[in-house]
């Protein structure tokens, strides 16, 4: 794997303003350093312990994005340093992140995960559940989390039209939520969608952040 060449190929494809989260889960620190030397500064991890070990060993100017499924009891380990949490799919988690962030004197940027795929197994709010949570308004009093946008994963299928519809539904939801709940929140601006096999479609559908692992680092072992 030529990590630096893979990154350069992807950078050349990203429209201005779109950020790359290099998904480095299960890959060794040497691989991350290779990407770091090519200029990559945002890394995505899906297990808190693994992310924390890498955070402790690697340069300070790396921004660590947590993209995995959240467990309440693990939030405290990443609260001191995590740059963004992508997978918030319940109000209870938001409250817990707020509590742990407060203990560290931080405000943690979070994305709301929406369930856009056909597969039942994927996590995330339904659009209705998310609207109910936002309409309830309790989140407005959580001063140590900041809602920066939405995140979603498309179905794992070769049907590109299906994938496109799912990404479009996330973009549409983002616009609706922005107008209804975040008109006075300029920070609510991110649409995190697209992985190695479907990011070109996500870019066409308005992703502001793509999360790419395999295409940079090779298969996970």
Ligand X SMILES: *Cc1c(COP(=O)(O)O)cnc(C)c1O
Residues forming contacts to ligand X in the complex (CB under 6 A) are 23, 25, 46, 67, 153, 195-196, 211-215
**Could you give the CA distance from residue 210 to residue 117 in angstroms, rounded to a whole number?**
17
**CB-wise, 93 or 142, nearer to ligand X?**
93
Find residue 150's DSSP bridge partners.
112, 191
**CB-wise, 27 or 55, nearer to ligand X?**
27
Q: Are 193 and 67 in contact (CB under 8 A)?
A: no
Q: What is the token pair recorded at 137?
A: 């308004």
Minimum CB–partner distance for residue 13 and ligand X (Å): 14
**CB-wise, 169 or 214, nearer to ligand X?**
214
Three-class secondary structure of residue 205 per DSSP? coil
Minimum CB–partner distance for residue 69 and ligand X (Å): 9
Which of 81, 75, 84, 91 is CA-nearest to residue 61?
Answer: 81
Dihedral sign computed on CA atoms, order 90, 96, 99, 101: negative
How does DSSP assign 37-74, residue by residue? HTT--EEEES-HHHHHHHHHHS-TTPEEEE-S---GGG
**CB-wise, 70 or 153, nearer to ligand X?**
153
Minimum CB–partner distance for residue 46 and ligand X (Å): 5
Minimum CB–partner distance for residue 221 and ligand X (Å): 12
**CB-wise, 109 or 213, nearer to ligand X?**
213
Spatial neighbors of 137 by CB under 8 A, at least 6 apart, are: none
**CB-wise, 20 or 142, nearer to ligand X?**
20
Minimum CB–partner distance for residue 186 and ligand X (Å): 25
């Amino acid at each position: 794997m030529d990590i630096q060449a893979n990154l350069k190929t992807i950078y050349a494809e990203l429209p201005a303003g779109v950020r790359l989260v290099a998904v480095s889960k299960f890959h060794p620190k040497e691989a991350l350093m290779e990407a770091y030397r090519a200029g990559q500064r945002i890394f995505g991890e899906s297990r808190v312990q693994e992310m924390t070990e890498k955070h402790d060993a690697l340069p300070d100017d790396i921004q660590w994005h947590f993209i995995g499924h959240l467990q309440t009891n693990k939030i405290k380990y990443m609260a001191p340093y995590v740059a963004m949490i992508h997978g918030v799919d319940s109000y209870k988690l938001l409250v817990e992140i707020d509590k742990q962030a407060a203990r560290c004197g931080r405000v943690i940027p979070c994305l709301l995960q929406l369930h856009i795929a056909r597969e039942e197994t994927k996590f995330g709010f339904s659009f209705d559940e998310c609207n109910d949570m936002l309409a309830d308004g309790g989140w407005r009093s959580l001063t140590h989390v900041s809602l920066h946008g939405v995140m979603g994963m498309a179905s794992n299928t070769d049907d590109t039209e299906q994938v496109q519809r799912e990404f479009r539904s996330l973009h549409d939801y983002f616009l609706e939520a922005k107008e209804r709940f975040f008109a006075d929140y300029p920070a609510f601006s991110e649409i995190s969608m697209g992985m190695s096999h479907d990011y070109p479609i996500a870019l066409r559908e308005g992703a502001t952040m793509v999360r790419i692992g395999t295409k940079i680092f090779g298969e996970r072992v």
